[in-house]
Each structure stands twice: as structure tokens, then as C-alpha cells.
């Protein structure tokens, strides 16, 4: 008697996006404009005559102390890998307001 075992695994790929060296930083408004323009140029089959198409993606952005994105990661894609790649690349070029300083929850020790 012969037994046959099948082992399956699920592979997941995480894509990180980093800023292009020397490229200008962009604002959130510029990201929206460029992503919208890309959608209209690259995805006419998705639009099908509509003026707008709604898609959502979850991103994680790592910022430096000045608010510049140092790395972007798409945690949940929009359903289009091409659009996600463009969105990730654009997000990596973002310049956001500097993050607020972190507050410590530890009790303060008085200075002597």
C-alpha cells in the first residue's frame, strides 16, 4: 500500500517601496492627482465611461523626523497590482508634516 501526502503552503509577498534618489517630494494632493491620471490612462476598462472609480488600499508609511516617507508598504491592495505599484511608488515620494513627538507614558522622574 502506498500513501501519498500532499503538503500545501501559502506564500505571501510583501512589497516595499522606497523613494527614488534625487526625485522631488510630493504632497498628498499631488499623489491624488497623479494616481487619478494614471488610472485614466492605464485603466480605461475599469472606468467604463465613469468620471471616477473608487478603489481603496491600506498603506503603512515610515517617516523620518522631517515627515519625509522613507518606506511605504501596501498592506491591503486595491485589487490591481499595477495600480498598487504606482500608488506605492508615489507614496514613497510623499512629504508629510513632521510627526508630533512621541509622549512617554512612563512617570516623570524629577531632576535633582
Structure-block grid coordinates of residue 59: 498603506
Q: Would you state the pLDDT for residue 22?
A: 92
Structure-block grid coordinates of residue 58: 491600506
Alpha carbon 69 to its chain centroid, in Å, reads 10
Instruction: Dump pLDDT digits (tens) for 14-68.
Output: 789 999 999 999 999 999 999 888 877 766 666 666 665 666 788 999 999 999 9
The per-residue DSSP string of 11-78 comes to -----EE-PPTTPPPB-HHHHHHHHHHHHHHH-HHHHTT-S------EEEEEE-TTSBEEEEEEEE--
CA 100, 106, 111 angle in degrees (round to 5)?
Answer: 95
Amino acid at each position: 500500500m502506498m500513501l501519498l501526502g500532499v503538503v500545501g503552503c501559502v506564500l505571501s509577498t510583501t512589497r516595499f517601496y522606497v523613494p527614488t534618489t534625487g526625485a522631488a517630494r510630493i504632497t498628498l494632493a499631488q499623489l491624488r492627482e497623479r494616481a487619478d491620471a494614471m488610472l485614466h490612462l492605464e485603466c480605461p476598462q475599469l472606468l467604463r465611461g465613469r468620471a471616477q472609480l473608487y478603489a481603496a488600499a491600506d498603506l503603512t508609511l515610515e517617516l523620518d523626523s522631517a515627515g519625509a516617507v522613507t518606506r511605504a508598504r501596501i498592506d491591503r491592495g486595491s485589487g490591481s497590482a499595477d495600480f498598487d505599484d504606482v500608488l506605492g511608488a508615489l507614496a514613497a515620494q510623499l512629504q508629510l508634516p513632521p510627526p508630533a513627538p512621541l509622549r512617554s507614558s512612563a512617570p516623570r522622574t524629577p531632576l535633582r
